[in-house]
């Protein structure tokens, strides 16, 4: 059991799930967090309305409950067609220190407190500036908020190209989840409504992220790949990450560290295998790695 003085400084982790392909990802992430997130402050945000997104399947709902993971509803503030918008509301109504995770992530090693997550905000610079590379204009984005375009202070972590503030939205740590979510939503809605800004989809969440942090006047701690490792673009080296962003089930089979972690979770959590086996791609992983 962690000392309460440490636990209080640790964020509540939130991720999104609804019926369909997110279910196996949610089950795997939940198992990895239950196993290795020592404070065990975890919330699954289920997307409403259920008549559009679908309720969680009973086996997944039972699995989350058995792990002691709370489920709370959230909603997409953009529209049904933009599925990435589901994450925009994930930290809404969650005041206090919070951490949003994309659902296609595994926690690879025991984790609790980390000093880089104790500031106002922390995120990993994007692998590639997908927004401007596809014709998006940062000048138009920032002028919409009456702000000067910030300098190219980062390099894409995979491309190596100079880049303005632009973060992978799969891992976002903030000092106040509710305040952040409301500002992020407002910025995304304003950018989405501006017709002169091109290449917004599917990058709208990431385009709005640096603007929201600027609007909040929060300092951003740029994180290393260890907090959000792009396994689909680069194999894990000798020093494994905390959080592995695998994106697709076949990536797990292709990398030894991911496969070992996956097999260990299947063994430790017997209900996990049957949940995953209901889904194409995941069924082959279960057959290959179940002991």
Q: Residue 271 domain-assigned?
A: yes
Q: Please give the Cα distance from 197 to 138 (Å, whole number).
A: 9
Question: CA distances (Å), 85 to each of 42, 52, 215, 237, in order?
Answer: 21, 14, 19, 32
Residue 255's domain is classified under what CATH number? 3.90.550
Instruction: Write out pLDDT tens, residues 201-222.
Output: 999 999 999 999 999 999 999 9
Q: Residue 86 domain-assigned?
A: yes
Q: Please give the Cα distance from 17 to 54 (Å, whole number).
A: 10
Confidence at residue 238, expressed as pLDDT on a 0 to 100 scale: 77
Least confident range from 5-9, 20-24, 26-30: namely: 5-9
Q: At 252, is the pLDDT very low, low, confident or very high (cuts 50, 70, 90)?
A: very high
Q: Residue 242 domain-assigned?
A: yes
| Whether pTM exceeds 0.85 | yes
Confidence at residue 283, expressed as pLDDT on a 0 to 100 scale: 96
Triad 74, 76, 81: Cα angle to 5°: 145
Spatial contact of 187 and 145, defined as CB atoms under 8 Å apart = yes
Confidence at residue 4, expressed as pLDDT on a 0 to 100 scale: 64
Instruction: Write out pLDDT tens, residues 132-179.
Output: 999 999 999 999 999 999 999 999 999 999 999 999 999 999 999 999
State the average pLDDT for the chain. Answer: 95
> Domain containing 39: what range?
4-123+169-177+217-289
Q: Residue 20 domain-assigned?
A: yes
Q: Residue 203 domain-assigned?
A: no
Q: Please give the Cα distance from 135 to 119 (Å, whole number).
A: 33
Instruction: Check pLDDT > 60 for residue 194.
Output: yes
Q: Residue 256 domain-assigned?
A: yes
Q: How many CB atoms lie within 10 A of CB 219?
A: 10
Q: Is the dihedral of CA 268, 225, 64, 82 positive or negative?
A: negative
Q: Residue 196 domain-assigned?
A: no
Instruction: Write out pLDDT tens, residues 23-79.
Output: 999 999 999 999 999 999 999 999 999 999 999 999 999 999 999 999 999 999 999
Q: At 113, is the pLDDT very low, low, confident or very high (cuts 50, 70, 90)?
A: confident
Q: Please give the Cα distance from 279 to 97 (Å, whole number).
A: 34
DSSP string, the chain: ---HHHHTTSPEEEEEE-SSTHHHHHHHHHHHHHHHBTT--EEEEEEE-HHHH-PPPHHHHHHHHHHT-EEEEEE-SS-TT-GGGGGGGTTTT--SSEEEE-SSEEE-S-B---GGGSSSEEEEEPSS-HHHHTT--HHHHHHHTT-PPPP--EE-TTT--EE-S-EEEEEEEES-HHHHHHHHHHHHHHHHH-TT----TTTHHHHHHHHHHHHHT--EEEPPGGGSEETTTS---SS--SEEE--SHHHHHHSHHHHHHHHHHHHH-TTHHHHHHTSTTHHHHHHHH--
Confidence at residue 64, expressed as pLDDT on a 0 to 100 scale: 98
Confidence at residue 5, expressed as pLDDT on a 0 to 100 scale: 65
Instruction: Check pLDDT > 90 for residue 267.
Output: yes
Instruction: Write out pLDDT tens, residues 68-97.
Output: 999 999 999 999 999 999 999 999 999 999
Tally of domains within the chain: 1
Q: At 8, is the pLDDT very low, low, confident or very high (cuts 50, 70, 90)?
A: confident
Confidence at residue 281, expressed as pLDDT on a 0 to 100 scale: 95
Q: Residue 71 domain-assigned?
A: yes
Instruction: Write out pLDDT tens, residues 120-139.
Output: 999 999 999 999 999 999 99
Instruction: Check pLDDT > 60 for residue 1.
Output: no
Nearest to 245 by CA among 231, 256, 259: 231
Residues 6+ apart with CB under 8 A from 140: 194, 196, 197
């Amino acid at each position: 059991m962690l000392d309460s003085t440490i636990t209080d400084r640790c964020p509540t982790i939130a991720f999104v799930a609804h019926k369909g392909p997110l279910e196996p990802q949610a089950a795997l992430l939940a198992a990895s967090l239950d196993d290795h997130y020592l404070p065990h402050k975890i919330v699954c945000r289920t997307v409403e309305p259920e008549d559009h997104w679908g309720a969680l399947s009973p086996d997944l709902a039972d699995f989350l409950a058995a792990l002691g993971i709370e489920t709370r509803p959230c909603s997409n503030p953009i529209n049904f067609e933009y599925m990435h918008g589901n994450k925009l509301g994930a930290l809404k109504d969650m005041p206090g220190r919070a951490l949003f995770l994309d659902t296609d992530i595994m926690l690879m090693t025991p984790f609790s407190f980390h000093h880089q997550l104790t500031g106002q905000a922390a995120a990993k610079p994007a692998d590639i500036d997908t927004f401007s590379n596809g014709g998006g204009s940062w000048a138009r984005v920032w002028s919409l908020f009456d702000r000067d375009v910030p300098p190219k202070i980062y390099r894409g972590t995979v491309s190596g190209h100079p880049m303005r503030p632009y973060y992978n939205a799969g891992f976002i740590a903030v000092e106040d989840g509710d305040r952040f979510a409301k500002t992020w939503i407002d910025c995304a809605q304003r950018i989405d409504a501006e017709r002169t800004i091109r290449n917004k989809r599917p990058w709208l969440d990431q385009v709005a992220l640096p603007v929201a942090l600027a609007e909040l006047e929060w300092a951003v701690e740029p994180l290393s790949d260890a907090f959000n490792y792009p396994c689909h673009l680069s194999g894990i080296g000798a020093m494994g990450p905390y959080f592995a962003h695998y994106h697709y089930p076949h990536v797990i089979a292709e990398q030894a560290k991911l496969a070992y972690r996956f097999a260990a979770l299947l063994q430790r959590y017997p209900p996990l295998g049957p949940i995953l086996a209901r889904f194409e791609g995941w069924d082959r992983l279960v057959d290959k790695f179940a002991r």
